[in-house]
Structure 1
Amino acid sequence: MAATEPIDIIELGVGDAQAGLVLSTEAGWNQNEADWRFFLSQGVVFGMRDGARLVATAALLRYSAGNAWISMVLVTADFRRRGIATKLVDACLNVAAERGLTTWLDATPAGATVYGPLGFTPTLQLRRLRLTKPQGAGASRSLSAGHLDALAARDASAMGFDRSTLLSEFSARPGSRIVSDDRTVALVRDGRTARHIGPLLADRADQALALVDAIVRSETGPWLIDAVHSQEEFLSGLVASGWNIERPFQRMCFGPAAISPAQPPFAVAGPEFG
């Protein structure tokens, strides 16, 4: 097709999960088909097609208290630099405006240059880290099974709004588990290329680090974690124990933030989920 020929924005359905997975896999992201099915069934996902081929997406996932997350902003390589991502994000913002939602997203550095001019303002920062295998030969210790209600309550306190639907869906997936140790709790789940730890809630950095160490020694990696940058002791401890920082993310909000969360988590559910 001609490079200048317009493509219509369409709303996608659950049957588009595999096509969405092709896009996120091309980008090297960690989402699996279950993630796509959640977005397509619980959120609003816009896309563009070139014939039968899905070439771009953007998702709006509604949470409680008038908050929503924009994510899965993807454009296949040969359709980039045509303003498609901006158009799809605008479509998400229009739906959010119609429903009176405050929108959030976690942007890559390149994405932040797109979202800033649209009216998004920066809040906290994240760092994505990867671990192939734990350092040393320390023995793993037993972990207690955590409870969904406790995880959801602490997550709501940290985020400023409830995400129990998301956490319930995560915890019910094959391979997922909620683990706790002392005053810490975390969710562990499968991704396409690595196991993901988060959200992770704790009172202190040493508790959070001890829980991460116990998790990664209790099963085979590789691992991903999205740490909150302001939790400096936790982030430094991860790096010291062999985790490698892959990329930063900038959390951004469109319009005034109407929430006042308590202490932020040590690690989040992922940039696509907040």
Structure 2
Amino acid sequence: MGAIDHLGIVTLGADDAREGLLLSAEAHWNQNEADWRFFLTKGTVFGIRDGDRLIATAALLPYTSNNAWISMVLVTQNWRRRGLATKLLDACLDAAAKQGLTTWLDATPAGATVYGPLGFTPTLELRRLRFAGSTSPATSKPRPAADIHLDDLIARDHCAMGFDRGALLGELSRRPGSQLISHGGAMALVRGGRTARQIGPLFAADAGSATALIETITQSETGPILIDVVSEHDGFLKNLTNSGWTIERPFQRMRFGRATIPSAAPPFAVAGPEFG
């Protein structure tokens, strides 16, 4: 730990978005500059610099009902395993405690082994899947959800999460290229990322309608697509893998602090591990 004692924690601002993007791109994550600007303007992003270079980050994004998300825990390659991530995570937890917030995060398997001993409790599990896309032109376009307004998506999300994320979903849906899409009672948000389009959150009454919506979306896309599926929807997962989707990695959702919301039926897919 002595090697990092001289490195202080700073609070980053909107002008640091491109530096943050360099860190997430180095880790092969899908966040784009707009994602970073959202965290930097709507949340608190802590950083550590080595001279002028940003070498580590962690973000605390508050939602409603005293809940917040921790994400963007990143350390550049040659500074890893020296305690920087833990130092920044502690800063997030301290800030959350001062505000009376229950914190959540979606951890990689390696991260979960670190967060568990710190007091994080496992909740649901996620699986990230990738669809490589087609090399041929799209044959059809998904029907825009003209009868499904943003308010409907926010209401479904509030019911599933237990707290309101209207500011997040509104910002994501207004980005260039984002679409609200519905099919047979299922609905989802599709947005751009650094290397792939991303589906989520996705809500449906059953695996069949969720799968039909995914088929509608993939027919309109030629590039790669990512989706983070809640693992308990095993029928939906099986349908996707049978349709050419491949599982990339698992995530473990974890909570620090007491539960402030009642359990509810989870969505079929989440907005992403960075947002919950």
TM-score, normalised to structure 2's length?
Answer: 0.95
Which whole-Å deviations, capped at 9, do the CAs of 1:156-186 have from their partners, x for residues lacking one?
1011111000000001100101111121110
Q: 1:215 aligns with which of 214, 217, 222?
A: 217
Q: Which residue of 2 aligns with 1:159?
A: 161
Q: Which residue of 2 aligns with 1:95?
A: 95
| Alignment-mate amino acid for residue 81 of structure 1 | R
Q: Which residue of 2 aligns with 1:144?
A: 144
Seen in structure 2, the aligned counterparts of structure 1 residues 44 and 8 have a Cα distance that, compared at 3 Å, is: same
Report the Cα distance in structure 2 between the residues aligned to 1:182 and 1:136, rounded to whole angstroms: 26
Q: Which residue of 1 aligns with 2:15?
A: 15
Counterpart mapping for 1:102-121 below 5 A: 102-121=102-121
Residues 1:65 and 2:65 are matched in the alignment: yes
Identity of aligned residues (%): 64
Query: Are the aligned partners of 1:134 and 1:242 in contact in 2 as well (CA < 8 Å)?
Result: no
Q: Which residue of 2 aligns with 1:85?
A: 85
| Alignment-mate amino acid for residue 220 of structure 1 | T
Q: Which residue of 2 aligns with 1:250?
A: 252
State the Cα distance separating 1:142 from its structure 2 match: 4.3
| Alignment-mate amino acid for residue 154 of structure 1 | R
State the Cα distance separating 1:144 from its structure 2 match: 3.4
Which secondary structure state, in structure 2, belongs to the residue aligned with residue 144 of structure 1?
coil
Query: Are the aligned partners of 2:4 and 2:84 in contact in 1 as well (CA < 8 Å)?
Result: no
Which secondary structure state, in structure 2, belongs to the residue aligned with residue 170 of structure 1?
helix
Residues 1:198 and 2:200 are matched in the alignment: yes
Which secondary structure state, in structure 1, belongs to the residue aligned with residue 133 of structure 2?
coil
Report the Cα distance in structure 2 between the residues aligned to 1:5 and 1:168, rounded to whole angstroms: 40
Gapped regions of structure 2 (runs ≥ 5): none
Report the Cα distance in structure 2 between the residues aligned to 1:130 and 1:170, rounded to whole angstroms: 20
Q: Which residue of 2 aligns with 1:235?
A: 237
Q: Could you list the runs of 4 or more consecutive aligned residues of structure 1 that deviate by over 6 angstroms after TM superposition?
A: 135-138
State the Cα distance separating 1:14 from its structure 2 match: 0.4
Report the Cα distance in structure 2 between the residues aligned to 1:68 and 1:211, rounded to whole angstroms: 30
| Alignment-mate amino acid for residue 198 of structure 2 | H
- Residue range with higher mean Cα deviation, 104-113 or 214-223: 214-223
| Alignment-mate amino acid for residue 100 of structure 1 | G
Report the Cα distance in structure 2 between the residues aligned to 1:89 and 1:49, rounded to whole angstroms: 16
Query: Are the aligned partners of 1:135 and 1:241 in contact in 2 as well (CA < 8 Å)?
Result: no
Which secondary structure state, in structure 1, belongs to the residue aligned with residue 202 of structure 2?
strand
| Alignment-mate amino acid for residue 86 of structure 1 | T
Report the Cα distance in structure 1 between the residues aligned to 2:111 and 2:71, rounded to whole angstroms: 11
| Alignment-mate amino acid for residue 97 of structure 1 | A
Gapped regions of structure 1 (runs ≥ 5): none
Report the Cα distance in structure 2 between the residues aligned to 1:194 and 1:261, rounded to whole angstroms: 31
Query: What is the total number of aligned residue pairs between the two structures?
Result: 273
Counterpart mapping for 1:161-200 below 5 A: 161-200=163-202
Report the Cα distance in structure 2 between the residues aligned to 1:54 and 1:270, rounded to whole angstroms: 24
State the Cα distance separating 1:219 from its structure 2 match: 2.4
Which secondary structure state, in structure 1, belongs to the residue aligned with residue 219 of structure 2?
helix
Seen in structure 2, the aligned counterparts of structure 1 residues 58 and 4 have a Cα distance that, compared at 3 Å, is: closer
| Alignment-mate amino acid for residue 39 of structure 1 | F
Seen in structure 2, the aligned counterparts of structure 1 residues 137 and 12 have a Cα distance that, compared at 3 Å, is: closer
Q: Which residue of 2 aligns with 1:124?
A: 124
Counterpart mapping for 1:24-39 below 5 A: 24-39=24-39
Which whole-Å deviations, capped at 9, do the CAs of 1:223-268 have from their partners, x for residues lacking one?
0000000011111111010000000000000012121242110000
Aligned Cα RMSD in Å?
1.8
